[in-house]
Copies of this chain bind each other. A is one copy, B any other.
Amino acid sequence: MLNKNVQTFIACDSEYEESKIVLFGAGFDGTTSFRPGTRFAPSAIRNDSFGIETYSPYQDKDMEDYSYFDSGDLELTFGSTKRVIADIAGRTDTILNDGKIPFMIGGEHLVTLGAVMAVSDKYDDLCIVHFDAHADLRDEYLGQQLSHACVLRRCHDIVGDGHIFQFGIRSGERDEFRFADEHTDMHLFNFDGLEKTVRMLKGRNVYFTLDLDVLDPSIFCGTGTPEAGGVTFDELRRAVTLVCSELNIVGCDVNELSPVYDQSGVSTAVACKIIREMLLAIS
């Protein structure tokens, strides 16, 4: 007898019970104002993950030695942002209640809000580490408060002052930078100060949200709003390894890959490799 076709991120086909980390896809891009397409990221990432190795020479670790579970994609409703966020919070909640770490693959950055809502319900005093080219701190965008451009502002509504640590930021309205001066810990352009932040956050509950457009578009052009002047792959690789291995990650996401804008496939390959490094570092 034959089996139905199962497709997971490479080496994420363990049994649910034995897996500490559970992946799911949230391919939503309904508030994207410039160039949509992140909805296709989860499936592209699964497909192309078989082009990378399970072994990392950087960490000298192999995914085959750990257990991961890929629970597939949420089926999300375009046209109703609130319901999308609720659905994401629901899946996150399920995974948390089973004592596991949710690892979400977006979608646009707004998906983070659903996950943060669920994680902050469960964990007190949640801190957020945020890598991004964009501040994402607007109070509203084109009249909407639930927008990818407002997502960290909405997270700030939840976790409050002093709980958000931003790195790599190089784009936004002037008001967002003014807001950051008072309410978040924002590091412009690169990862300067990350080691100090990591030392400070040690032992606390941390949600890690990675907007891949923090990378320079030379290595990651497959995104809706490319911003030149970003970090290199090796800088990002080192930074995510540091955050994921040193901190108590209680949930995380990787977002804003838009595969259609990179015909070469490099952006998707980069996303796969960063996810591998994160999975290995958390383990």
Contacts and interface: CB of A to CB of B under 8 A. Distances in A.
Interface of A: 1-8, 13, 16-17, 22, 24, 29-37, 39, 43, 46-47, 50-53, 55, 57-58, 62, 69-73, 75-81, 83, 94-95, 98, 142-144, 146-147, 169-174, 177, 188-189, 216-219, 221-222, 225-229, 233-234, 237, 260-266, 269-270, 273
A79 to B, nearest CB: 4
A171 B54 CA distance: 10
A176 B133 CA distance: 37
A273 B230 CA distance: 13
Nearest to A33: B78
| 9 nearest A-B residue pairs (beta carbon) | A5-B72, A221-B264, A2-B71, A218-B218, A31-B79, A36-B36, A228-B233, A7-B7, A79-B144
Contact of A261 (B17, B147, B263): B263
A8 B2 CA distance: 13
Contacts of A95: 2
A64 B1 CA distance: 23
Contacts of A147: 78-79
A143 B58 CA distance: 28
Contact of A29 (B5, B36, B71, B77): B36
The secondary structure that dominates the A interface is loop
Contacts of A237: 228-229
B218 A53 contact: no
A266 B226 CA distance: 6
15 contacts: A2-B71, A30-B31, A31-B79, A35-B51, A52-B171, A53-B173, A62-B174, A78-B147, A218-B219, A218-B266, A225-B269, A228-B270, A260-B260, A263-B263, A263-B264
A38 to B, nearest CB: 10
Contact of A234 (B33, B39, B229): B229
Given A143-B77, A218-B218, A2 B94 contact: yes
Contact of A222 (B81, B171, B264, B269): B264
Contacts of A233: 216, 218, 228-229
Contacts of A263: 261, 263-264
Contacts of A57: 169-172, 177, 188-189
